Structure 1
Amino acid sequence: MSVLIRTLLLLALLGSASSAQAVPTPRPNPFPPAAKTEAADVPVPQPAPPEVKPSGKAEPAKPAEPEATEKTASEPPTAEPGSPPPAPAEEETKTATSDPECDALKAAGEVEFKPLPPIVENRCGAPFPISITAIQPKGGQRVALEQPVVARCAVAAAMVTWMRDTVQPSAKKYLGEEVASLGSTNGYACRGRNRRTDTKLSEHGRANAVDIGSFKFVSGKIVAVGHREDPGLSFMLDIRAKACGLFKTVLGPGSDVYHSTHLHFDVIRRGRNGNATYCH
């Protein structure tokens, strides 16, 4: 072979190798384009869901607020300072054997009354009650009770002294005549004070009290409790003021709404020595 031919072959081979190196071999794309999707398949972004705490340590439930409840009735008031607690009527009836006050009333003959059996009624009662129908101090005017009063003999004894030393002298002074009868009278009644159920036991429930609503004079004239004109007003004020001490409790018009039409007298023991008074 000639030199010319060998040279041409060599140049041809070199050209082929040079062309092969100039065109690189295609390699796969490491980030291929995402497959084309329809618009309807593209998901719409949604708001992030609320954070959910792990259930392993659940927080203790907060206690509910207490519901409002109705105000309950208050406890019954305790006994007044210095006053011994009253014994139950049943126990008092069992322990008492006699009442010296009743023996004294019978001996004096200044009270028309009838002894009654012991009263035992729930928390109320009295061991030696009497039914009082009239008061007649010795040598004085007989004063009838238009409605008999059931009370203890201590109440009747106080009424005798009050009628003799206060009521009749005051009646003569202010009205020129004596009292012949007492109207709207009341005694024993098993109830709370002022006829309420949430209060202490009334002294009426122990037969220790008497209520008087009016005074009828010998001439027939009537002066009702709460009378506002003289001379009846002066008479009423006088006998009410002088009842304090003889009776341990004196209430009437002006004391409260419950006593606007009657006088309330009772012989409850007040204070440490039993002689204190409440007059209003």
Structure 2
Amino acid sequence: MRIPNIIGPRLVRLARRLVWLAIIAFALLVLFAWLKPGRQDLPWTPLSLSEPIGMSTGRKIVKLSEDREECMALLESSGLEFTPAEPFGADQCRVEDAVRASSGQPLLPLAPASVAPSCPMAVGLLIWQAQVVQPAAQDILGSKVSRIENFGSYSCRRMYGRSEGSWSEHATANALDVSGFVLEDGRRVSVLGDWFGGDDKALFLRRVRDGACDLFSTTLSPDYNAAHQDHFHFDLANRGAMGWSACR
């Protein structure tokens, strides 16, 4: 009578389980090494305006489009003086959550101040201004930014002004085109005039562009194409659970 050889297969199965456990343990170690305390890496924690930008910050900002009350509460907690705009537009261009910051606001010094981006866009701009723009300006140019010049937020149109195809995020004020910056010492930094300058102004523009890539769904600069030679395009397109972003 032969006794089945079951020791070998059992050892093989055990070895496989140990290998998978080792892989999982290594992946967890890598994950926890990447997740830094105080940074907004975890997707299930609330969005904070003050915590350092993390892997999940951009997706949290996009998700604010699903909760207008939460978005408005975040803006109020920031200390920003703003006025909710009356709903405007129709159909694909209907905007119900636009906000307008009071003129001369240091927290969001948009010029012209009459621009009215969506509430989530205003939240993203607040974080970008505080955690990216101002630190970069002081570090590279030695002065704070007093005005962020822009070409506007709302425009009822399809992408690239085409007669058909996908609607632009500008159609719902979920975007902003930034053309330049004015410093407190009076100097002006222009996307059109300084992007290819090769000096500190160009370095500043690249740093604020790169920082925007961690916050907005789409960040386009002169590196993308000729249509963006004079401005940065930022938007909060909702691209689903994966939340992939475009950065050029």
Q: TM-score w.r.t. structure 1 length? A: 0.59
Match of residue 35 from structure 2 = none
Deviation track 1:70-108 (CA, whole Å, cap 9, x = no partner) reads xxxxxxxxxxxxxxxxxxxxxx9xxx8843101221232
Bigger mean CA deviation after superposition, 191-200 or 176-185: 191-200
Q: Note the C-alpha offset of 1:179.
A: 0.6
- Residues 172 and 247 (structure 1), Cα distance of their counterparts in 2 relative to 1, 3 Å cut: same
CA contact (8 A) 2:175 2:233 kept: yes
- Number of residues of Structure 1 aligned to a counterpart in Structure 2: 180
1:107 matched to 2:77? The reply is yes
Question: Identity rate of aligned residues, in percent?
Answer: 28
What are the equivalent positions in structure 2 for 1:1-280 lying under 5 Å apart?
A: 98-109=68-79, 111-133=80-102, 135-137=105-107, 143-226=109-192, 227=194, 228-229=196-197, 230-270=199-239, 272-273=240-241, 275-280=243-248
- Residues 243 and 135 (structure 1), Cα distance of their counterparts in 2 relative to 1, 3 Å cut: farther
CA–CA separation in structure 2 for the residues paired with 1:185 and 1:201: 18
Q: Helix, strand or coil for the counterpart of 1:268? A: coil
Q: Helix, strand or coil for the counterpart of 1:242? A: helix
Q: Which has the higher contact order (CA 8 A, sep 6+)?
A: 2
Structure 1: state its 5+ residue gaps: 1-91
Q: Give the letter aligned to residue 246 of structure 1.
A: L
CA–CA separation in structure 2 for the residues paired with 1:232 and 1:99: 38
Deviation track 1:172-226 (CA, whole Å, cap 9, x = no partner) reads 1111101100123311111111222233110000111011101000111111013
**RMSD over aligned Cα atoms:** 2.1
Give the structure with the higher percent helix.
2
Q: Which structure has the larger Rg over C-alpha atoms?
A: 1
- Residues 98 and 168 (structure 1), Cα distance of their counterparts in 2 relative to 1, 3 Å cut: closer
CA contact (8 A) 1:151 1:188 kept: yes
- Residues 172 and 98 (structure 1), Cα distance of their counterparts in 2 relative to 1, 3 Å cut: closer
Deviation track 1:11-40 (CA, whole Å, cap 9, x = no partner) reads xxxxxxxxxxxxxxxxxxxxxxxxxxxxxx
CA contact (8 A) 2:100 2:113 kept: no
CA contact (8 A) 1:251 1:259 kept: yes
- Residues 121 and 172 (structure 1), Cα distance of their counterparts in 2 relative to 1, 3 Å cut: same
CA–CA separation in structure 2 for the residues paired with 1:97 and 1:204: 20
CA contact (8 A) 1:183 1:214 kept: yes
Bigger mean CA deviation after superposition, 122-131 or 196-205: 122-131
Q: TM-score w.r.t. structure 2 length? A: 0.67
Q: Note the C-alpha offset of 1:149.
A: 1.7
CA–CA separation in structure 2 for the residues paired with 1:97 and 1:247: 18
CA–CA separation in structure 2 for the residues paired with 1:224 and 1:259: 13
